Structure formats: C-alpha cells, structure tokens
Amino acid sequence: MTDVVDIAIQPASLSRPAQLDSSRSARCDAVLLIDFVAPVPEPLFIYSSSQEPPTVADSAAYEQASGLFAESDWRARSLARASGITRDKIHVVPPALVWRPNGRRQAPLRIRQVPRRKLLYICGTRRRRCSLLADQVILDAFRILRREYDPHVSLTIAGTQEWPFHGSPPGGVDFRGAASADVASRLVDSHDLFVMPSSMEPFGLAFADALSRGVPCVIPGTYEMYGAITPGISGALVDEGDAHELASAIASTLADDEMYHRCYERAPAMAAYFSWERVARQITQVISREVGLMTG
C-alpha cells in the first residue's frame, strides 16, 4: 500500500530557480523537475526525457537530488556520467507512447496473414553520417530479400524529407518523405513488419506503436528498446550494419506464424505498458518510497 504523495511538477520551460512556486512546492512531499535542474527545499527528483542532459541552473542541485528518472538503461548510464549521480539513484522508467491522438479511430487490431511482404522503416529526422549508413544497410538487405527470398517484398521508408541518395528509389521502395506522428501511426497499421537498421535512427516510439498494434520489429541488439523486443515473441535482434543478417532475420520473422499470433495477443499489454498511466505509477511509487511514504 502507498500513502498519497503530493508532487509538484516543474517543466523545462522554467529558466531560473526563482521561478519555482515556493508557496505551492512548500506544501508538497517532493518536486519533480522535467529536463531541468535547480535547487529546491523539498526532496528533488529529475525526469530526463530527451537525449541531451537536462538544463542545469545549479550543478549543486544534482547532489541534492533524491533520484533521477531515465527512459532506458543506456540513458541511465549516460546520465550517471554527466551528472555524477550514483547509478543506484537513477531509476529506469520507459517512456509512454503519445502519438495516437485521442478520438482518432484506429484500424481494427488484426493478425497479419501470409503472404507477409510489407516492410516499414521510419527513420529519424536529424540526418547524420550514421543515418546514411543505416539507409544503405536496409536498402542492401532489401535487395537481398528480393533476390534470395521473395521478389515481391516491398519497403516503405518515411520520416525524412528528401531521398538521401542520388537518383530515384529502387523498384519496390515506396518513399513517403517526412511523416507526422499520425501518418507514421497509420503506416504501422498498414504494414507487416517494422524494421529499424540502426540504434541511432529511432523515430520517436515507432517500434512501441508497432508492438501495440501487433506488428513485430527487427532492430539492432545494441539498442535496448526498453526491454520490449523479445526474440521469437515480438521480433528479432540483429547485429547492426550487417545487411545479410538483417535480410535473414526479416525473412524468418515474416514466415513465423506463431510469432505473429503472439505479437497479436500481446498488443493490448504493450499498449498498456507504453502508457502515461504506467509511467506515472512507476514514478509515484519510486518517489513515495524515497520520501518515506511507503507503508507496506
């Protein structure tokens, strides 16, 4: 059982510690700062929601912090190095899926039946050298698939504004350009397999959207994906940069009827897992425990 904990939440838009509402926070058991670090009189917790370290108004506030929330184990290690906070004070809380707008009617949840041939790759919008390498790897894997496994496999690429290579997309590749969250979500519903060839190329939580709709994912094993990808149940893990291994994993996954049934059955649980209700519950439980409000 957990006693009620009163948490003041202060977002990153606050630029100075003086802006913290002391009259309100004085009545609270703890203060949760989001992407922002400043000293406060109450027990202080920090939530890091971006790839960059939180904005630091006063580095001494890190020493005051009772805890720090990170969205993945990889992010937790990075924040430990940047902040000096010991790893045992950093709590991993996987993020929530936020891009399925309330009120938009979703396509009915369904099992993808054979033949399964429609691959989806939604790349990040910030293009770097590693982005081009990822693009090349998935195109090489796609050519291997069409040559050695199934000549009718198709690949949809979205997320970036311009085609990254000279010339036009090869046959079988449907390049959609930039994609809003809503467009990306609709693409997930209309494809059979979500593929992410690089750990540096996530488009928000596209993989979580795929899992919540019963679509398996093939991703690099180096990208922890918040522990959501279980080989043989929700997709496959591959070595990053190996086009032949990627092609083989894609072909095996597309042919695995049992995996698609398991992914379909787990979809509601995945949707619940990547929800703000679960995030809030985890954060509240940690804060309650740390400020001594856990009674049993």
In the structure encoding, which two tokens stand for residue 227, read together?
């522990």
Confidence of residue 198 (pLDDT cuts 50, 70, 90): confident
Residue 288 has pLDDT above 80, yes or no: yes
Alpha-carbon distance 121 to 155, whole Å?
A: 7
* Phi and psi torsions of 120, nearest 5°: -130, 130
Which CATH class, in words, describes the domain spanning 7-96+275-290? alpha beta
* Domain map (residue ranges) of the chain: 7-96+275-290, 118-272
Alpha-carbon distance 94 to 273, whole Å?
A: 9
DSSP H or E segment with residue 187: helix 181-189
Report the candidate in 248, 205, 200 with the shortest Cα–Cα distance to residue 220: 200
Check residue 134 and give its pLDDT: 80
Alpha-carbon distance 242 to 276, whole Å?
A: 35
Q: How many CB atoms lie within 10 A of CB 92?
A: 16
Residue 20 has pLDDT above 60, yes or no: no
In the structure encoding, which two tokens stand for residue 44, read together?
């202080």
Correct CATH for 118-272 of 3.30.70.1430, 3.40.50.2000, 3.40.470.10, 3.40.50.720: 3.40.50.2000
Check residue 254 and give its pLDDT: 98
Check residue 18 and give its pLDDT: 44
Residue that wins the pLDDT comparison between 50 and 277: 277
- Cα–Cα distance list, 227 to 73, 90, 153, 270, 289 (Å): 9, 17, 28, 11, 24
Confidence of residue 25 (pLDDT cuts 50, 70, 90): very low
Residue 117 has pLDDT above 90, yes or no: yes
In this structure, are residues 106 and 211 in contact, taking their beta carbons and an 8 Å threshold? no
Q: Do domains 7-96+275-290 and 118-272 have the same CATH topology?
A: yes
Residue 1 has pLDDT above 50, yes or no: no
Check residue 244 and give its pLDDT: 97
In this structure, are residues 158 and 122 in contact, taking their beta carbons and an 8 Å threshold? yes
Tens digits of per-residue pLDDT, 52-87?
Answer: 778 888 878 888 899 999 988 878 888 898 888 889
**Mean pLDDT for the stretch of residues 245-253:** 97
DSSP H or E segment with residue 154: strand 154-158
Check residue 138 and give its pLDDT: 92
Q: Residue 112 corresponds to which amino acid?
A: R
Check residue 226 and give its pLDDT: 61
Residue 200 has pLDDT above 90, yes or no: no
Number of residues assigned to the chain: 296
**CB burial string 191-226: b at 16+ within 10 A, e below:** bbbbbbbbbbbbbbbbbbbbbbbbbbbbbbeebbbb
Check residue 291 and give its pLDDT: 86
Alpha-carbon distance 226 to 176, whole Å?
A: 28
Report the candidate in 97, 115, 103 with the shortest Cα–Cα distance to residue 188: 97
Tens digits of per-residue pLDDT, 125-175?
Answer: 655 545 677 889 999 999 999 999 999 999 999 988 888 888 899 999 999
Q: What mean pLDDT is reported for the chain?
A: 83
Check residue 161 and give its pLDDT: 87
